[in-house]
Amino acid sequence: MATILGGIGTSHVPTIGGAYDRSKQNDPDWAPLFRGYERVSEWLEVKKPNVLVFFYNDHASTFFFDHYPTFALGVSETYPIADEGLGPRAVPPLEGHAGLARHMADCLVNDEFDISVFQDLPIDHGVHSPLTMFWPPAPDWPGKIVPIEVNVLQHPVPTPMRCWKLGQAVRRAVLSYPENLKVVIVGTGGLSHQMNGERAGFNNEKWDMKFLDLIARDPKKLTAMRHADYIRLGGTEGAEEIMWLAMRGALSPRARKIHQNYYLPMTTAMAVALFEEPAAKTSSKKPRSARKASFRTRAARAGIQRRFQP
């Protein structure tokens, strides 16, 4: 059965990918950002997941407001890199795990999450800007992705609670996949920033720190907040943080934050946080421990339901 090793929360601002493409590792203005991702890439190197499930948002690159999906699940074997006005970024097309994605579509819809699906559509910096920081192509991508698009552009956008519940449903879907896949969940966006109006350039480091604490320790508090709260505290685009909530909802209550980095050089607070599931420790062993992991996983699922069902 598939297992979830942990999760990653990360900003996806395009300059992260830009700094990677321009090899800014040793530039003092960018080095603190690169250093912050080192622990994440080392962890992935050791854990070797097969698939990263990405909660991300499209930036009116692929989808347009004539039909902007609230939630959309990618079910392709491959995704072209989107052209965002300068031609596609020079990284290979993203590889999708179609088998897992189709299974997730079946599970989600039968779990009353009537998600829309897409295939053969390009994906923008919402996924690949942070991806090259911790899973760079060398020259091919180290594994596959399953992208889940979330509308954070055009209100009404889904509530924080709904994103949390989507995460829980994605957890049930992934854990019921019969193949022995190792999966990591990624939530992208944020932290504080605003890209419109005279309030553009707004940041709130104090709120960002509180968010990074709550997402690990008491995510339920974050699900009870409204979008107006997120916008007031973190700016209109800071509200992208609901995609971190989807990631956290897909982890067990016992997942632990083992690393975080925060860097606010310009307009967007760039953060990354790494979460590890306790069950992941035994996942590299043989069949007996695999059964143990499966039992632990079931217990963790029951734990979530007991603790968070309204």
Residues of the shown chain interacting with another protein in the complex, contacts defined by CB under 8 A: 14-15, 29-30, 59-61, 64-66, 82-87, 153-157, 159, 194-201, 226-228, 231-232, 236-237, 264-267
CB of 129 to another protein, least distance (A): 13
Which residue among the candidates 12, 125, 227, 259 is catalytic per the annotation? Answer: 125
Q: Which is nearer to another protein, 79 or 275 (CB)?
A: 79
Task: Please confirm, yes or no, whether 193 is among the known catalytic residues.
Answer: yes
Q: Answer yes or no: are the C-beta atoms of 72 and 114 closer than 8 Å.
A: no
Nearer to another protein by Cβ, of 1 and 31: the residue is 31
Nearer to another protein, 85 or 287 (CB): 85
The CA distance from 190 to 26, in Å, is: 24
- 97 labelled catalytic: no
Minimal distance, residue 85 CB to another protein, in Å: 3
> Least separation, in Å, of the C-beta of 30 and another protein?
6
Judged by beta carbon, residue 226 or residue 285, the one nearer another protein is: 226
- Torsions phi, psi of 303, nearest 5? -60, -45
Q: Are 174 and 310 in contact (CB under 8 A)?
A: no
Edge-to-edge order in the sheet of strand 270-276: 116-118, 71-74, 144-150, 51-56, 182-188, 3-10, 270-276, 256-263
CB 264 → another protein: shortest distance, Å?
A: 6
Euclidean distance between CA atoms 193 and 269, whole angstroms: 7
List active site positions.
125, 193
